[in-house]
Amino acid sequence: MLKNASWKQKFFTIALGQTISLIGSSAVQFSLIWWMASKTESPMLLALAGLSAYVPQFFLGPFVGVWIDRLKRKQVIIIADLFTGMIALMFSVFFFIGEPPYWSVCIVLGVRAIGNIFQTPAIQSVTPMLVPHNELVRANSWNQFMQSGSLMLGPVVGAAMYAILPMPIILISDMAGAIIAATTVAITKIPELKPQLKDSYNFISELKDGISVFLQDKKLCIVTVAAAICMIFYMPISSFFPLMSSSYFHVTVWHASIVQFGYAGGMMLCSLLISLYGTIRNKLKTVHLGLLGLSITIFLCGILPQTEFAFWGFALLCTLMGASGNFYNIPYIAYMQETIPKEKQGRAFSIMNSLMSVTMPLGLIIAGPFAEVHGVSSWFFISGIVFIVITGMSFFLIRMQDKR
C-alpha cells in the first residue's frame, strides 16, 4: 500500500506542475497569436506562427532523444521548462521598451518549441521509471485528462489575461508556471539509469539505434506507420472545425465554440473512463479500435446535410472523435513504455513525436488546396475513407504477425 501511494505521490507531483505550466504556456501562446492577429489581420503571418512551432521539431526532434538517453532526464525536464519560461521572460522586455515587430512572434514560438522538443519525450520516458508497468495505462489516462483540460482551459485563461493585463505581464506569467513545473520535478526523486551508450557521441549510429526499436518490433512499426499516414489526414481536421461551423452549417461563433469544447471534453471523458478501468490487456487491438472510431466519426461528419439540425450531429461526432483519439493514443504510448527498454525510450519517443509532428504541416499543405476546391466537408469524407482502409490494413498485418 505504501509503495502504491509512493509512486502516485511522485507521479501527481510532477503531473500537477506540468499541468500548471501547460495552462500558462497555452494562455501565453493564445495571447501572442491574438495580439499579432489583432494588430496585423494577416493570414500569412498567422500561418507562419502556426508552422513555426513545427520547424524545430522537424530538424532537431529525431536527434534530441540521444541527449535525453545520455543525460539525467530529471535535469533535462527542469532545464527545458526553465528555458521555455526564460524565452517568454526575455521577450517581455521588448514590450517594456516598445512594440516588437510582429514577425518576432514567429521566432519566439519557434524558439520556445525547442524546449518542448526536449521536455515531451523526457516526460514520456520518465513515466515508466516512476509508475509500475501494470499502472501505465491508468497513469497515461490521468496525464491525458490533465493535458486535455489544460489545452481547453489555456485559451480561456489567455483571453481573460489579454483583456485585463498588459502583454509583458502575460509573458512573465509563463516564467512563473515554468518555475512551478521545474520545482515539482526538482523535489521528486526520480530513478536514474546507468549510461548504456558509448562515451563518444555518434548521432547517426545512435539515431539508427532508436529507429531499430521500431524495426525490431514489427507490430509497433506497423501501427506507427499506419498512425502516421492517418495523422496526415487527421491533423487538419481540428483546424477545419470553425470552417465546418461557419461555411458549411452557417452557424454562429457560439456554435463553433461548442464543437471545440465538445472535442476537448470527449478527450477528457475518454481519459477519465480509461483511468477508472485501469488496465488494457491487448493494447494494440485497442489502438485499432480507437482508429476505427476516428474513421467512423470523420466519415459521418463528411456526409452530414447542410442544416442547423445536422450541426448538432456534427458537434456530437466531434465529441466522439476526441474520445476516439485518446482511445488510440493512451494504449499506444503505454505499449511503447512497456515494451521499449528504458535506456532507449528517449530516442524512441523523440522519433515518434517528430514523425507525428511532420504530419501537421504536411496535412495542411495537402488539405488546404483540396478543401478550397472541393469543400471542407469533402476532406472529412475522404479522410474517413482513408482511415478505414489504413486501419483495416494495419489490423490485418498485425493479425498476420500474431499467427507467425
Task: Render 310-323 in DSSP notation, one character per residue.
Answer: HHHHHHHHHHHHHH
Higher pLDDT among residues 82 and 44, named by residue: 82
> Whole-prediction pTM value?
0.78
Residue 305 pLDDT = 93
Mean pLDDT score across all residues of the chain: 84
The grid cell for 184 is: 515539482
Q: What are phi and psi of 396, to 5 degrees?
A: -65, -45
Exposed (0-12), middle (13-18) or buried (19+): which is 198, by Cβ within 10 Å?
exposed
**% the chain with pLDDT above 70:** 93
Ordered by where they begin, the domains of the chain are 1-186 (1.20.1250.20), 208-404 (1.20.1250.20)
Say which range, 86-100, 239-253, 267-281, 386-400, has the weakest mean pLDDT: 239-253
pLDDT band at 79 (very low <50, low <70, confident <90, very high): very high
Identify whether the C-beta of residue 92 lies closer than 8 Å to the C-beta of residue 172: yes
The pLDDT tens digits for 141-153 are: 888 888 878 877 8
Q: Which amino acid is at 257?
A: S
Say which range, 31-40, 91-100, 215-224, has the weakest mean pLDDT: 31-40
Q: Give the Cα separation of 347 and 124 in Å (integer).
A: 11
**% the chain with pLDDT above 90:** 28
pLDDT band at 327 (very low <50, low <70, confident <90, very high): very high
On the CB side of 172, CA atoms within 13 Å amount to 10
pLDDT band at 1 (very low <50, low <70, confident <90, very high): very low
Using the predicted structure, report yes or no on whether residue 308 has a pLDDT greater than 60.
Answer: yes
Residue 195 pLDDT = 57
Using the predicted structure, report yes or no on whether residue 137 has a pLDDT greater than 60.
Answer: yes
Using the predicted structure, report yes or no on whether residue 3 has a pLDDT greater than 70.
Answer: no
> 308-339 and 253-277 helices cross at what angle (nearest 10)?
40
pLDDT band at 228 (very low <50, low <70, confident <90, very high): very high
Residue 202 pLDDT = 62
**Residue 278 φ/ψ region, left for φ over 0, alpha for ψ in the -120 to 50 degree band, beta for the rest:** left
Mean pLDDT of 118-135: 85
Nearest to 328 by CA among 284, 298, 381: 284
Say which range, 107-116, 165-174, 256-265, has the weakest mean pLDDT: 256-265
Mean pLDDT of 54-70: 76
Angle at 159 between CA 320 and CA 247, to 5 degrees: 50
Residue 387 pLDDT = 94
Residue 2 pLDDT = 42
Q: What residue ranges in 228-345 does DSSP mark as E strands?
A: none
Mean pLDDT of 208-231: 88
Mean pLDDT of 240-250: 82
Mean pLDDT of 221-225: 93
On the CB side of 256, CA atoms within 13 Å amount to 16
Residue 203 pLDDT = 60
Exposed (0-12), middle (13-18) or buried (19+): which is 216, by Cβ within 10 Å?
exposed
The pLDDT tens digits for 355-371 are: 888 887 788 788 878 88
The pLDDT tens digits for 13-57 are: 998 998 888 888 888 887 887 787 777 766 566 667 767 777 777
Task: Give the Cβ contact number of residue 133 at 10 Å.
Answer: 11
The grid cell for 29 is: 501562446
Residue 354 pLDDT = 81
